[in-house]
Structure 1
Amino acid sequence: MAPSDNDFDTEHDFEEEENVGDSVEAHVWQLLLLINPGDEEMALQQFTDYREGIVQSGGNEAEPIDLVRRVIDWRSGFYVDVADTSGLMQAIDELSARWNISIDWGGDAADDDFHKTDIDAPSLFAIAYDRLLEHGYTLWAWETGDDHCAGWITLKRDNESLREVAVYLGINMRLGNEVT
């Protein structure tokens, strides 16, 4: 016997924005899991902070990445002035230390003379990308639209998943060795 139209609940009380919001939240959760490999507790804490941030902003947050950036800063991602090469090195070192990885930068991060050379953010991204890849991790950069550089680290095996989540959330990503 074929089901009739009455056998299905065709009326929904969902507003279109709620469905989109749920999808955005689901993708933010996926992003947080990807940038916290092996640390679901940290991802959950950041997701809770993200949701609290939405409530505090009255739902007026322009882009999910703006709030994500604030809840992950220096724990699972970074956002530093592009001219602050020392800060960039410190941020990447801090994130890499979660997996006991030490980046050989080819110079001392604490040495002011090292930062006066031709070292710049794209060079540092490329160095860190190569060193992390040796351990099965990928350094990512996302476009900030201002004079800052930002990024996070994922497992190399999750590269395609991160790309898909980033596209959905409208985050322009590139591999760390592609930063210009």
Structure 2
Amino acid sequence: MPTRDDEFDPDDNFAHATGHDFDEGDAEHEGDLEVLAWQWLLRINPGDEEAATQQFQAYRELLGDDDDAEAVRDALERVTDWRASFRIDETERTTLIDAIETLAERFRVDIDWGVEDPTDAVALAGASTGALIEAAYDQLRVAGYTLWTWDTGDDTVAGVLAPRDDDEAMRVLGNALGLDLRPGAG
């Protein structure tokens, strides 16, 4: 089992840590939160193991010795914000569009928001956050990706993009990390 002092080897994907696929409740086992964090980062940075590795190192430094589930979620959110995730006030529609477009650009996916100028707050006044997320979700699915969101407990909306082929793994990882993931829900 790797420890924080062990040299991190991104090629092993922590496969030796548990020797099995993750099921609900796995996060309760010692060290599994680190494994889950790494698997999460791999999936939200598809094809970019270097970015996942950088975020994982930043996550380890930020987390320190605090390994409770809430601290893990907070650390993951901080190290991935606007790189592989977003958390935006739900009333800030232009910022939400900018965040999703920034993440979608990594996969060369352009989103049609259904308004002439998606940077114009006045033009977006009639569009709900949920409708914008749904529009992005639908177009990302066609391109092979899923937009995931979760309840933040406040007036923000948070989310990530991951390959559509990883939908089941994202559900399991989200659950194990304590995130109530929903595909494309605003």
Distance 1:100 1:50, change over 3 A: same
Q: How far, CA to CA, are the matches of 1:131 and 1:22 in structure 2?
A: 37
Residue 33 (str. 1) matches residue 42 (str. 2): yes
Distance 1:133 1:59, change over 3 A: same
Among 47, 66, 69, which residue is 2:56 paired with?
47
Q: How does 1:92-171 map to 2 (within 5 A)?
A: 92-107=100-115, 108-117=117-126, 119-171=127-179
Letter of the structure 2 residue corresponding to residue 88 of structure 1: L
Instruction: Give the structure-2-normalised TM-score.
Output: 0.80
Cα drift, residue 121 of structure 1: 1.1
Determine the structure 2 residue equivalent to 1:84. 92
Determine the structure 2 residue equivalent to 1:59. 66
Q: How far, CA to CA, are the matches of 2:30 and 2:82 in structure 1?
A: 26
Q: How far, CA to CA, are the matches of 2:179 and 2:120 in structure 1?
A: 34
Give me the CA root mean square deviation.
1.4
Q: How far, CA to CA, are the matches of 1:125 and 1:111 in structure 2?
A: 17
Any idea what SS the aligned residue of 2:78 has?
helix
Letter of the structure 2 residue corresponding to residue 53 of structure 1: L
Any idea what SS the aligned residue of 1:163 has?
helix
- Give identity over the alignment, percent: 39
Distance 1:90 1:21, change over 3 A: farther
Cα drift, residue 46 of structure 1: 0.5
Cα drift, residue 20 of structure 1: 3.6
Assess if the C-alpha contact under 8 Å between 2:141 and 2:164 holds in 1. yes
Cα drift, residue 68 of structure 1: 0.7
Deviation string 1:101-150 (CA, Å, 9 cap, x unpaired) is: 11000111212321222x12111110000010111100000111111000
Cα drift, residue 63 of structure 1: 3.5
Decide which structure has greater helix share: 1
Instruction: After the TM superposition, list the runs of 4 or more consecutive aligned residues in structure 1 that deviate by more than 4 angstroms.
Output: none
Cα drift, residue 24 of structure 1: 0.2
Q: Which runs of 5+ in 2 are unaligned?
A: 1-27
Q: How far, CA to CA, are the matches of 1:89 and 1:110 in structure 2?
A: 8
Assess if the C-alpha contact under 8 Å between 2:93 and 2:121 holds in 1. no
Q: How far, CA to CA, are the matches of 1:166 and 1:159 in structure 2?
A: 10
Q: How far, CA to CA, are the matches of 1:120 and 1:49 in structure 2?
A: 34
Any idea what SS the aligned residue of 1:151 has?
strand
Deviation string 1:143-177 (CA, Å, 9 cap, x unpaired) is: 1111100000000000000111111111111010x
Q: Which runs of 5+ in 1 are unaligned?
A: 1-18
